[in-house]
């Protein structure tokens, strides 16, 4: 049996059990004749020897009756939405749906979408004591939310807590159905991109002082638990780590952040500010909250490139727009400070970053333009063990000494030179190809040879 088939068979058992529980709850609530007077007398399937992803998750967390009902309820709109059609009944006394069923209406989905109220109704009916007990399952310190198995989202502030949408996370939807442990990917619901590299620390050319600061970040990632817990410094030191990378474009800020993740074995996500920042009030905070909420407890490194677009200096409040912009910065400051992982902000100009952020950085690292010796290492690294260069014509020492370029600009110049060699039907790159590439890079910056 395939993994998907195994997952489907197990979930089908759970759905049959869920339907029996739901039918019993409705019979009890509407005082209909029934052989069952307590939904918890309906035994859940025994998954002790089951190999499905759902069964493994259940055993890992030692899930009880209530947690299993909540997960299946959140899954149903994705796998068997018609099971929830029962909740579409109209109350004859009010000529509308039953308030106690909860639920919300999607833009495209025609069926019933559950809220936290739906789960509480199934598990507790109108018994206040039991309702309060179930309410604990939706607190942020419960593993269902802490491990992001489920998500709850409120449509508007001021509405009852239980009116929040009950959602299965995309990560667990894929895992429990397809058996795929996918990492979150860039999209409208997740404005961040996992960044990787095939390069190593040997390809990165930085000053010794910079590398020493980078090693501090690596050490924190590897030994923060020792510092906070074994050494009992967690009472005064927050668990997160914040770093500012600043310097001209192309000097290695993004590559450094990526290599930190590679060397420690943690994922690095670059935040797409174009999808985060919104002109609509409250949307920027919501978009950022989505990233931070998903990153929590996963030990991700969050990398904000061109961070001054989002973390810039606050302005004098001469208008309502200024006040809202300042509120965004204050919100970001709080979320960054509360994040238990590593946050790296990168900017071309340190002066553009709000002072309130700068004071809270554990380290501030300047990525300067490489000197002639470093540029030579960069040029040589581009062609290491590669016979592409025409050794009789190319003078990398002269290129390094004559042209002040960043590592990114050198990479672009080599790309251009390779294209020229192909166009000229040559299998060698010559000095003139490289100089043309350098010229184009200088022109971008308003400089000439």
Distance, CA of 372 to CA of 366 (rounded, Å): 18
**What are the C-alpha distances in Å from 105 to residues 73, 80, 110, 132, 137?**
16, 17, 8, 26, 23
Tokens of 318: 């001469």
* Mean pLDDT of each 10-residue bin along the chain, 449 residues long: 89 97 95 91 95 95 97 97 93 86 90 96 95 94 91 86 93 90 64 88 93 94 92 89 93 96 92 66 70 82 83 54 57 82 90 76 94 95 83 87 95 95 92 94 85
Q: Per residue in 77-118, pLDDT tens?
A: 999 999 999 999 888 888 888 999 999 988 888 899 999 999
> Phi/psi of residue 360, each to 5°?
-100, 0
The per-residue pLDDT for 106 is 86
The per-residue pLDDT for 358 is 74
Tokens of 174: 């894929």
* Number of other residues whose CB lies within 10 A of the CB of residue 122: 25
* Number of other residues whose CB lies within 10 A of the CB of residue 35: 7
- Nearest to 413, CA basis, from 425, 396, 393: 396
The domain made up of 192-366 has a fold known as: Rossmann fold (3.40.50)
Q: Are strands 96-97 and 165-168 parallel, antiparallel or unpaired?
A: unpaired
Q: Per residue in 407-433, pLDDT tens?
A: 999 999 999 999 999 999 999 999 999
393, 421 in Cβ contact below 8 A?
no
Question: Where do you find CATH 1.10.8.60 in the chain?
Answer: 372-444
Length of the chain: 449
The per-residue pLDDT for 322 is 46
- Nearest to 386, CA basis, from 371, 372, 396, 373: 396
3-state secondary structure of 11: helix
The per-residue pLDDT for 277 is 65
Q: Within 13 Å and on the Cβ side, how many CA atoms surround 293?
A: 19
Question: Where do you find CATH 3.40.50.300 in the chain?
Answer: 192-366
Q: Which residues partner with 344 through β-bridges? A: 243, 303
Q: Which residues partner with 113 through β-bridges? A: 104
Distance, CA of 307 to CA of 336 (rounded, Å): 12
3-state secondary structure of 150: strand
Q: Is the dihedral of CA 33, 36, 40, 43 positive or negative?
A: negative
429, 421 in Cβ contact below 8 A?
yes
DSSP class per residue in 350-392: GGGB-HHHHTT-SEEEE-PPP-HHHHHHHHHHHTTT-TTB-TT
> Phi/psi of residue 248, each to 5°?
-60, 160
Give kind and range of the element (H or E) at residue 185. Answer: none
205, 370 in Cβ contact below 8 A?
yes
Tokens of 112: 């019933």
Distance, CA of 424 to CA of 430 (rounded, Å): 11
The per-residue pLDDT for 126 is 92
**What are the C-alpha distances in Å from 336 to residues 255, 301, 302, 356?**
22, 12, 10, 11
* Number of other residues whose CB lies within 10 A of the CB of residue 264: 17
- Nearest to 124, CA basis, from 114, 132, 116, 115: 132
One of 3.30.230.10, 3.40.50.1820, 2.40.50.180, 1.10.8.60 is the CATH number of 372-444, namely 1.10.8.60
Distance, CA of 188 to CA of 241 (rounded, Å): 27
């Amino acid at each position: 049996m395939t993994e998907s088939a195994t997952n489907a068979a197990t979930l089908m058992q759970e759905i049959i059990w869920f339907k029996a529980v739901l039918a019993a709850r409705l019979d009890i609530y509407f005082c209909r004749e029934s052989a069952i007077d307590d939904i918890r007398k309906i035994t859940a399937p025994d998954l002790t020897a089951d190999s499905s992803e759902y069964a493994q998750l259940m055993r890992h967390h030692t899930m009880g009756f209530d947690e299993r009902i909540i997960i299946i309820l959140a899954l149903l709109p994705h796998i068997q939405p018609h099971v929830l059609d029962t909740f579409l009944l109209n109350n004859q006394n009010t000529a509308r749906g039953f308030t106690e069923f909860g639920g919300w209406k999607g833009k495209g989905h025609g069926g019933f979408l559950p809220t936290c109220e739906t789960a509480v109704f199934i598990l507790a009916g109108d018994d206040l004591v039991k309702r309060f007990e179930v309410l604990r399952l939706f607190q942020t310190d419960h593993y269902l939310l802490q491990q992001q198995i489920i998500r709850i989202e409120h449509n508007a502030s001021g509405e009852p807590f239980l009116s929040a949408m009950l959602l299965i996370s995309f990560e667990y939807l894929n895992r429990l159905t397809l058996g795929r442990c996918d990492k979150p990917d860039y999209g409208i619901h997740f404005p961040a991109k996992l960044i990787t590299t095939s390069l190593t620390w040997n390809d990165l050319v930085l000053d010794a002082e910079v590398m020493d600061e980078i090693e501090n970040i690596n050490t924190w990632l590897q030994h923060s638990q020792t510092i906070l817990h074994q050494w009992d410094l967690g009472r005064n030191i927050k668990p997160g780590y914040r770093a500012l990378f600043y310097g001209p474009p192309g000097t290695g800020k993004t590559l450094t952040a990526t290599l930190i993740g590679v060397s420690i074995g943690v994922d690095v996500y670059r935040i797409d500010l174009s999808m985060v920042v919104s002109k609509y009030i409250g949307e920027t905070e919501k978009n950022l909250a989505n990233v931070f909420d998903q990153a929590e407890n996963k030990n991700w490194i969050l990398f904000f490139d061109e961070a001054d677009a989002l973390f810039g200096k606050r302005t004098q409040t001469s208008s309502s727009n200024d006040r809202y912009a300042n509120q965004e910065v204050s919100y970001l400051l709080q979320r960054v400070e509360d994040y238990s992982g590593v946050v790296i902000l990168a900017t071309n100009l340190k002066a553009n970053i709000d002072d309130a952020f700068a004071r809270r950085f554990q380290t501030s690292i300047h990525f300067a333009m490489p000197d002639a010796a470093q540029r030579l290492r960069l040029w040589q690294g581009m062609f290491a063990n590669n016979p592409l260069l025409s050794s009789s014509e190319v003078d990398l020492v002269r290129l390094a000494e004559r042209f002040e370029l960043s590592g990114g600009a050198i990479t672009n110049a080599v790309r251009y030179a390779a294209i020229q060699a192909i166009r000229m039907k040559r299998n060698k790159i010559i000095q003139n190809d490289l100089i043309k590439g350098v010229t184009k890079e200088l022109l971008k910056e308003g400089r000439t040879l």
